[in-house]
Chains A and B, each alone.
Chain A
C-alpha cells in the first residue's frame, strides 16, 4: 500500500506501508545501528518517536522471544529502506511486519533513508507523520501537533513490582526502563524492586536498599521535575547509579542544566572516553538531550566520561556522595558490551559504602 512520510518542513517521502495501517505522528529521529532493530523498537525511550533506521535492510533476523526491551513498545513509527519478507535467523518467530501489526505501529519502507537522515542531521529532529495522502490536510494536522510532555508517565510502571534475586537489594526507579537493565542486575544476582517514577525519597529510604538505579526513559528530563527531589533526598544515603534519562535527572538534581541536542545520539558506535583512565568504550546510545558541560558545578559533580568526537558529557560522579551516572547504555542491547563493567562498579560502590557504613557504625557504637 502506497503511503507517505511527511515532515514538518514540508518534505514528502513516498513509500510502501507495512506494519499497522494507522496514521501516525511523532518526532522523527534516526538510529545508525546495523543490528538490534528489535531492541531499538521496543526501547521505551523511543516513546512518541518515529524511528528511522539508516541501515537499509531491517527485519532480516525477524523478531524473537528473547530480545524485547519492553513488551508493549510505544514508538510511533518505523521508517526503513527495506523490510525483510523472509527471515534468516533460527530464533525468529515472526517478521518485523507482523510484529508491527500486532503492536499497532505503522512502518513505511522504500524510503531514501540516507536523504532523510541527512535532512535530520542538517535541520534537526522534527515532527513527522506517516499518512495515506500527503495533502494539505495532513500537513495542517502535523503542524498543529503538540508533542506530549508526559512521556515518562506513559511508559513507566504505576505499580511497584519485584524482580527477585539473592544478592544486593536494588530499587530501580522506572522512567521507561529497558529490560536489559534488569538482565544486567539479574546477572549479578540482585534482588530488585522496580518502582514507579513518582516514588519519593522517603519511600525509597524506607525500603532501605543497597543501591538505587535511575533508569533510562523518554523525553525531556525537565518534564520529570518530581524526580529531582527524590534524587536529592536519596543521594548520599544510598549508592546511586543513573543511566540515560537517569543521568540527566541526576545532573539536574545537582544543579546542572540540560539542553535539547540537534539530532541526538542514537546508535551504538559512539566512542566514550573515561577521563581518569583514558579507556575508550564503544557505547550504545539513545538520547536527544544532554547535560550542558558549562552548567556543571565542579564542587558537586565531576565529569567522568566524554564522547571523544563531540565531547558530549557522557558520565558524572558526585563529588561527595557514592553516586554516578552515564549518558549511554552500559546494558547495551543493542550494541557493544564494552561498558558492562559499570554495573560491576556499581556493585563495588555498594560494597564499599556498606563496608564504610559498618566501620562508621562500629565507631559510633
Chain B
C-alpha cells in the first residue's frame, strides 16, 4: 500500500531526558523518524523536554516543542496543533507511556487523533505480564514458568514442581530489593521469608531460573501487509542474568547452529505477527546451552537501545523504516538506502563481527555497587567492528576510555586467586578484564566456563588474545607475529609495552613494512551488491575500500561512549560541526565509536569511520584521508585529549592551537595570563605531592576546592575543610605526581554562572550568560541554570563580558570556549576555562537561536564572525526565561550518594521555557519528574550552618500550605523561629525508622536534606536520601533548589491573609 493520504500532520513524542536505560539512542531514532516522515511529505510536530538533542533542532521537524512530557503539557499542544496522528513508538518507554496516558485521558478520541504504528492493544500485550503470558501460551511460545506465593510452603511446592534453581521476586519492592536466586530449599526459605517481609502485600513471585542460558536477541520489523523481517540477531557474551544493556554483546549470533537460529527466528516472527506490530520490535530469548529448549524473556514493541545498536551493526536504519511503515508504506515499497539497489524488505548479512561493551559510571561513583544483574547500570556503550571476535573486542575495549588500551587491568594484578574467582562468579562491570587476568594466571577454559557460565567459544577468544601476548613477548620485532597480533585487534601501544618500545617505534615498523589497516565498507549485504555507503571500519586485510576523494576534507573527532560528564551534548555539537563543514564546501569526515548517537548515522557526514578514538586509530585514518586538519573542540575531553599527541605527529589541529589549549589547561601558564589581564580568580596553587598540597591548603585557608588537573565533569573534585580531609582526599581519590598534579583553590561562596564564547581571533561572540541556581560547590552539570541571568546587574554582566573577551583574545581562541565564573561580593572571579565546546552548547544554541557549534566551526574554517553578521560581545537578549534542570539516575544505582557536590552526577537534562522565571522553573521541575502538589508535608533535615537559611525557607513553605516535619536539631531551630514543626525521630533514636517509614508510606511530599562533609555512607542523611530516591519522593540536597521550588509553589498559590 502506498503511504496514507488521509493524514497530514503527525505529532512525534521524544523520550525526554537521558537516564540510565533510556539514552542517546532515542535521539538517533527520533531524528531519523522525523526526517523520514518529512521526506514522505507529512507535517511533523515534535515534543521532547530534552534540549541536548539533534532531534529538538528546528530543522528536524516543522514545529518543535521543548516542553515537559506530561499529559498536561502534551494535551495543550495537541489542542493547539490538532494533529491527525501521533507516532508514539520511537520515544522509548517514556514516549509509549505518555501515549497510553493520553489515550486513557480521552483526549485522543475527543480530538480524533490516531496512534500510528503499533496499536495500544499490542503494546499492552507486550508490556502486561499476564497478557503477555496468555499470548505466549496461545502461540505455544515458552516463557519461564512462574507462580505467586504468599508463604514458604507455596514457594516450595512450586520450586519442587519445576526444579531448582528458582528466582524469587518480592512483589512491589523497588529495583528488585529482597529478591534472589535459590539453588536449595534452605536458600529458598531464607530468601522467600525475607522477601515476604519486605513485600507490602506479603507476596513473592517464584520463577524458573534461566540464569546461565545463552541470551539471544532478534531485531525484527513488520509492516501492515504482514511482511516481517529479521534485521539483526545478537548473542550476549554474558549469559542470561545480566541485563542485556549491561552485557557484552556480539552481532551476529556466534555459537548457534542454523537450526537454532531459524528456530528462534521463527519464534520472533511469530510473536511480532501475533502482536500485529507495525514497525520495529525487539525479542529477547534465552536458549539452553545444552538443548533446543528456549524461553521468550521479553518483547519490546518499539525501537530500543538494541535497535539502535542493530542499525549501526548492520547499516539498516530501523527507526527510519519504522516511521515509514507507520504511515502505511510496506517494506517492499521502500528502497534500502544503503544499496539503493535492493528494497527494505531485506535481511542484512554481515561480513564482519560487531562487539558492544557497555560503559559504566563507576569511575564517578567510587562507592557504587558494581554488581551486575537485572537492573541496567550502564550509561552508554561503545561498539567496534572487526573481522573476528578478538579484533572487534579489543577495538571496543580501547574505545571504552576506562584507562585500558588492552584487555588488561592493573587493579586485577594484586587480587588473590580467590578474590579473582569471586569477581568472575559474581559479575561486575569489569568481569571481562578479570577473565583475562584469570587466563593469564593459568585458569583453564573449563574452570572459567563453570564459574561464569560464559560459552567456552568466547572464553577461548580471550585465551587466544593472551596467547598472542605471549607470542609477542617471545618475538620482539617479529613482523609475522606483529601481523597476526594486528589482525586480532592489538593496539600498537600494547605491542610496544610487550616489546619494551614506544608506540611510535611499533607504528614506524608497521608503516615501513606496509602493515597498515584497510577500511572495509558496511553495506548490509556482505558484498553481494555494489553499494556506496560511506560507512567504514578498519581491519588488517588486503583490500582497502575507502578511497580518498578529490575534495578537501576535515576530520571531526566524536566523543565516544556516553558517560557522566560527557553526554549527548557533545554528539550534538559534533553533528553541528559536520554540518558547518559541509556548508563551507569541504568534505566532512567523522570518527566515533558510539552506536547510540546521531553522529554515527552514516547519512550525517560525508564519511563515517566507526573506530575507537585513540591516537593510533585516528592517525591511521589521517594517513589515508590526509584531511586539511582535525577538529577536536566538539568531542569533549575524548577529542581534546588527542590534540597533543596528534600535533606531535604533525597533524594540523584546526582552531585554537595546541599551545593555547595547553595555556588554558596548564595552571601556571593560565595564572600568568589571568594576572596580566588583571582578572580575579580564587587564590589557588598546584601541588605535586601530599605535603605540598597541605602547605597550600593552609596558606589559602579552608575550605578549599581540590581536584586533579585535566579532568572532565569534575571527576574526583571535592570541597575539603581541613588538612586532615585534604590528606585523606589525596590518599583516596588521586595518585598525585609530577605528571598528575592536583589543583587546590580557595572556595568562594557565591553565584556561579557560565558563558560560551565563539571567537575568530578578532570578534568574540557571547550568545548568552547562564546563571546557576545552586551556589558554587555544586557541579555546573548538576546545577539548575537559567537564561537570561536573573540576579546579575548590568555592571556584573559587563564584567563577565569584558573578562570573556579578554580571555578569548589572550588564549587566541579560534572556535569555541567555555568559561565558568563565580560572583562573590559583587566581584566576578574566573574559576575555569575550557578551550572547547561544553555541555551548554545545545541549550544555549536553542534559547539564543545561534547555532553555536556551527558558528564556531565556521570560525575554525577561517570565516569571519563580522562577515556572518555578528557583533563583538554579548548578543542581544532573547525573549522568555529558560531553565535547564539536571536529571539523575540514582534509582538505578545502589550505594551511590545523591548529595550534589563538585563531582557531576546527573545523566541528562531538561529545559523549561516560559514568559516568567516561575513558569519556566515549574516546567523544568515537571519535565524532570519533580512534581510537587500544592500542599503536603516537607521534611527538613539540614546541617548546622544551613539552619538560618532553612528557617527562611520553611516559613515560605508554611505560607503556601505545607506542613513541616524535621529531625530534632533542625526542628529546634525552626521552632525557635516560631515555625510549627513536627519532630521526627532521627534514625535509631527510638529504635524505629520513623523517617524511613514516612518516606516509604509516601506521607512526605518533599525531602530537604543537606550534610556537612560527612562522607560516611552509613550516615542517617544517606539513608534518608536513598529512601527518598527509592520511593520517588522529590529530594533536594541544596537549599537553592528548594528555594526555586518554593518560588514556583508561591507563584501558583493564591495568598491567604487574615485581616
A residues near B, CB below 8 A? Answer: 13, 30, 32-36, 38-39, 54-57, 60-61, 64, 66-67, 81-82, 84-91, 112-115, 117-118, 121, 267, 269, 271, 273, 278, 280, 282, 308-309, 332-337
Pick from B347-355, B556-564, B787-795 the stretch touching chain A: B347-355
Other-chain contact of A271, B255, B345, B456 (Cβ < 8 Å):
B345
> Distance in Å from the Cβ of B303 to the closest Cβ of chain A?
22
Bitwise, B249-262 to A at CB < 8 A (1) or not (0) is 00011111111111
> Distance in Å from the Cβ of B1008 to the closest Cβ of chain A?
55
CA distance A56 to B252 in the complex (A): 11
B967 on interface, CB distance cutoff 8 Å: no
Bitwise, B493-512 to A at CB < 8 A (1) or not (0) is 00000000000000000000
> Distance in Å from the Cβ of A304 to the closest Cβ of chain B?
16
Chosen A-B contacts, 16 in total, with CB atoms closer than 8 Å, are A30-B527, A32-B527, A35-B258, A36-B257, A54-B526, A57-B254, A81-B388, A86-B457, A86-B460, A87-B255, A117-B528, A271-B347, A308-B332, A309-B529, A333-B259, A334-B262
B290 on interface, CB distance cutoff 8 Å: yes
Q: Are A64 and B257 in touch, CB under 8 angstroms?
A: yes
CA distance A308 to B508 in the complex (A): 50
Q: Are B347 and A112 in touch, CB under 8 angstroms?
A: no
Q: Are A57 and B353 in touch, CB under 8 angstroms?
A: yes
Are A38 and B343 CB-contacts (below 8 A) given A32-B525, A115-B543? no
Q: Are A32 and B526 in touch, CB under 8 angstroms?
A: yes
In the bound complex, residues from chain B placing their C-beta under 8 Å from that of A278 are 225, 332
CA distance A33 to B259 in the complex (A): 13
In the bound complex, residues from chain B placing their C-beta under 8 Å from that of A61 are 255-257
In the bound complex, residues from chain A placing their C-beta under 8 Å from that of B464 are 85
Q: Are A337 and B526 in touch, CB under 8 angstroms?
A: no
Q: Are B387 and A56 in touch, CB under 8 angstroms?
A: yes
Q: Are A56 and B352 in touch, CB under 8 angstroms?
A: yes
In the bound complex, residues from chain B placing their C-beta under 8 Å from that of A30 are 527-528
Q: Are A56 and B542 in touch, CB under 8 angstroms?
A: no
Nearest CB in chain A to that of B233: its residue: A34
Nearest CB in chain A to that of B250: its residue: A57
In the bound complex, residues from chain B placing their C-beta under 8 Å from that of A82 are 387-388
Q: Are A34 and B528 in touch, CB under 8 angstroms?
A: no
CA distance A112 to B265 in the complex (A): 29
In the bound complex, residues from chain A placing their C-beta under 8 Å from that of B348 are 269
Could you list 14 further interchain pairs (A-B, Cβ under 8 angstroms) beyond the known A54-B349, A85-B460, A278-B225?
A: A13-B542, A34-B350, A35-B252, A35-B257, A54-B526, A55-B351, A82-B388, A84-B457, A86-B457, A89-B255, A91-B257, A117-B526, A271-B346, A278-B332
CA distance A57 to B460 in the complex (A): 14
Are A309 and B445 CB-contacts (below 8 A) given A115-B543, A273-B332, A280-B227? no
Are A88 and B525 CB-contacts (below 8 A) given A282-B347, A309-B342? no
SS of A interface (majority): loop
Other-chain contact of A66, B259, B290, B541 (Cβ < 8 Å):
B259
**Which one of A56, A87, A332 has the greatest number of beta carbons of chain B within 10 Å?**
A56
Number of interface residues of B (CB under 8 A): 53
B289 on interface, CB distance cutoff 8 Å: yes
Other-chain contact of A113, B253, B261, B351, B458 (Cβ < 8 Å):
B351
CA distance A88 to B445 in the complex (A): 12
Bitwise, B163-174 to A at CB < 8 A (1) or not (0) is 000000000000
**Which one of A61, A82, A114 has the greatest number of beta carbons of chain B within 10 Å?**
A114
Bitwise, B379-406 to A at CB < 8 A (1) or not (0) is 0000000011100000000000000000
In the bound complex, residues from chain A placing their C-beta under 8 Å from that of B262 are 332, 334-337
Q: Are A282 and B351 in touch, CB under 8 angstroms?
A: no
Other-chain contact of B253, A33, A35, A39, A114 (Cβ < 8 Å):
A35
Other-chain contact of A86, B229, B353, B445, B527 (Cβ < 8 Å):
B445
B266 on interface, CB distance cutoff 8 Å: yes
In the bound complex, residues from chain B placing their C-beta under 8 Å from that of A88 are 254-255, 455-458
B425 on interface, CB distance cutoff 8 Å: no
B727 on interface, CB distance cutoff 8 Å: no
Bitwise, B46-75 to A at CB < 8 A (1) or not (0) is 000000000000000000000000000000
Q: Are B258 and A54 in touch, CB under 8 angstroms?
A: no
> Distance in Å from the Cβ of B468 to the closest Cβ of chain A?
13
Bitwise, B535-578 to A at CB < 8 A (1) or not (0) is 00000011100000000000000000000000000000000000
Are A36 and B351 CB-contacts (below 8 A) given A86-B460, A308-B345, A309-B342? no
Q: Are A280 and B458 in touch, CB under 8 angstroms?
A: no
Top 6 nearest A-B pairs (CB, nearest first) are: A88-B457, A88-B255, A36-B258, A115-B543, A334-B258, A54-B526
